[in-house]
Amino acid sequence: MAEYEWATEVKGFAPGTMQMVRIGSNTVLLVNIEGKFYATSNFCTHSKCYLHNGKLRGKILTCACHFAQFDVTTGAVLAPPAKEPLPVYPVKVEGDGIYVQIE
C-alpha cells in the first residue's frame, strides 16, 4: 500500500479554493470544500487540460478547456464532454500539513 506524502500546508489554503501540487511525478489538484480537503488528478479526463485553471463552485469543478464538469469530492462526471471520472486520492491532515496517498 502506498504511503501518504506531504502535499502542502493547511495555512493559507482557504475554503472554496484549489491549488495544483506535485507529488513525485504526479500533478495533483487539492481542493478545500468547507474546510475538508480533497485530491484529484489535475488533468481533465476529456482532453488532459489542467484543471487548476478551471472554475470551482461549491464542489463542482468546470474545466476551462471544454467545460466538462466534475464533482471534486467523488471524481464523478457531471457534464460532458468528459465521460471518464477523475481519479481521486485519499487525503489526511496532520498538524499543519496536508498529505495525499497516490495509489
pLDDT of residue 1: 67
CATH number at residue 56: 2.102.10.10
Nearest-angstrom CA–CA distance, 35 and 52: 18
Residue 48 confidence class, pLDDT cut points 50, 70, 90: confident
Total domains in the chain come to 1
Domain interval for residue 34: 4-101
* Three cell numbers written together for 62: 468546470
β-strand 55-57 against 36-41: which pairing, if any?
Answer: unpaired
Query: How much is the mean pLDDT over the chain?
Result: 96
Average pLDDT of span 37-57: 96
Starting at the earlier edge strand, list the strands of the sheet with 91-94.
Answer: 4-9, 97-101, 91-94
Does residue 66 have a pLDDT over 70?
yes
pLDDT of residue 44: 97
pTM, entire model: 0.94
